[in-house]
Amino acid sequence: MIEIRNLTYEYEPGKPVLKNISFTVEDGERVGLIGANGAGKSTLMKLMLGLLESTDAVFADGVPVKKDTLPEIRRKLGFVLQNSDHQMFMPTVAQDIAFGLLNYGMGQTEADRKTDEVLNQLHVSYLKDKYNHRISGGEKRMAAIAAVLAMEPSALLMDEPTSALDPENRRRIIQLICSLPQTCIITSHDLDMILDTCSRVILLDQGGIIKDGPAETILRDRELLEAHHMELPLSLSRR
């Protein structure tokens, strides 16, 4: 469970980018975090992951996100970056997947076994010994997700997981997200993908929560979306 309690954050004094945010994400829930550019989605993600410091406002499974608890928090929360090139920094896919496991004290043999297991789970075993800079964008995204899943996090945070993907790879990622048992928090401008994957949506604008509710309801509300610089998902606007 992820809990945010009265979170306010400002980069510059007097200019809060997040204002009094509170919500709870239950285990296994898939939540879409939507909003126009500058709404505060990325800042909120960084605060959840402890990449920005907050004071007793973010909790993962009851553990507050603060300096002392970061190793534990980062084991619980996996983060898939928008640009997979930034996430996959080791030379080969297998080494990248094993990176986090070895850092958390797993032995090489066990890490290799886990790497094989997670690649099999995502049906991308053929990527194992490939160089990260020589695989396609879709493969990089799958490998990046594999690297995060290998850590067995209780929740996954994803930043634009379908950006810059072709339709086939986009579909694969959507199917994968739907099949994951973990809690997922997804930020994206791809509202069709949010509609396909999330049961709940939180709409942010100017640092505040505008609406928090079922995805079907919020994503069908044309007036609400347009008032906050967004549009209906394409699949709904055609109906």
Partner 1 sequence: MNRAEKALHALKQMDELTEMDSPVHRLSALSKLLVTLLFILITVSFHKYDLTGVFMMALYPYVLFQLSGISFRLCIYRMRYAIPLVAMIGIFNPFFDRDPLLQIAGISISGGMISFLTLLLKGMLCLCASFLLVSTAKIDDLCAALRRMHVPSLLVTVFMLTYRYISVLTEEVALMTDAYHLRAPGQKGIAFHAWGSFLGQLLLRTMDRAQELYAAMLLRGYNGEFPDLQKNENRTASWIWLITWAVIFLALRWLNIPDLIGRMFMR
Q: Would you tell me how many other CB atoms lie within 10 Å of the CB of residue 107?
A: 10
CB 232 within 8 A of CB 217: no
Q: Would you tell me how many other CB atoms lie within 10 Å of the CB of residue 206?
A: 15
- Does the protein bind partner 1 through residue 127 (CB under 8 A)? no
Residue 126 has what DSSP assignment? G
Residue 92 has what DSSP assignment? B
Gyration radius from the chain CA atoms: 18
Residues in the chain: 239
- Does the protein bind partner 1 through residue 83 (CB under 8 A)? yes
**Number of Cα atoms under 13 Å in the Cβ half of residue 110:** 9
Check the CA dihedral 161-166-168-169 and report its sign: negative
Of the listed pieces 8-16, 128-136, 188-196, 218-226, which binds partner 1 according to CB under 8 A? 128-136
Total residues in contact with partner 1, by rule CB under 8 A: 32
Q: How far is the CB of 83 from partner 1 (least distance, A)?
A: 7
Write phi, then psi, for 158 (nearest 5 degrees).
Answer: -125, 130
Q: How far is the CB of 78 from partner 1 (least distance, A)?
A: 8
- Does the protein bind partner 1 through residue 89 (CB under 8 A)? yes
Query: In the complex with partner 1, which residue's Cβ is closer, 25 or 101?
Result: 101
With vertex at residue 158, the alpha carbon angle to CA 39 and CA 125, rounded to the nearest 5 degrees, is 160
- Does the protein bind partner 1 through residue 134 (CB under 8 A)? yes
- Does the protein bind partner 1 through residue 121 (CB under 8 A)? no
- Identified binder of partner 1 from the candidate list 20, 22, 126, 133, rule CB under 8 A: 133
- Does the protein bind partner 1 through residue 74 (CB under 8 A)? yes
Query: In the complex with partner 1, which residue's Cβ is closer, 86 or 238?
Result: 86
The one-letter code for the residue type at 143 is: A
**In 3-state terms, what secondary structure has residue 192?**
helix
Query: In the complex with partner 1, which residue's Cβ is closer, 184 or 191?
Result: 184
Query: In the complex with partner 1, which residue's Cβ is closer, 118 or 191?
Result: 118
- Identified binder of partner 1 from the candidate list 1, 29, 64, 99, rule CB under 8 A: 99
The one-letter code for the residue type at 175 is: Q
Of the listed pieces 9-17, 99-107, 162-170, 213-221, which binds partner 1 according to CB under 8 A? 99-107
**Which residues of the chain form contacts with partner 1 (CB under 8 A)?**
46, 49, 51, 71, 74-75, 78-79, 81, 83, 85-87, 89-92, 95, 98-100, 102-104, 108, 131-134, 147-148, 151
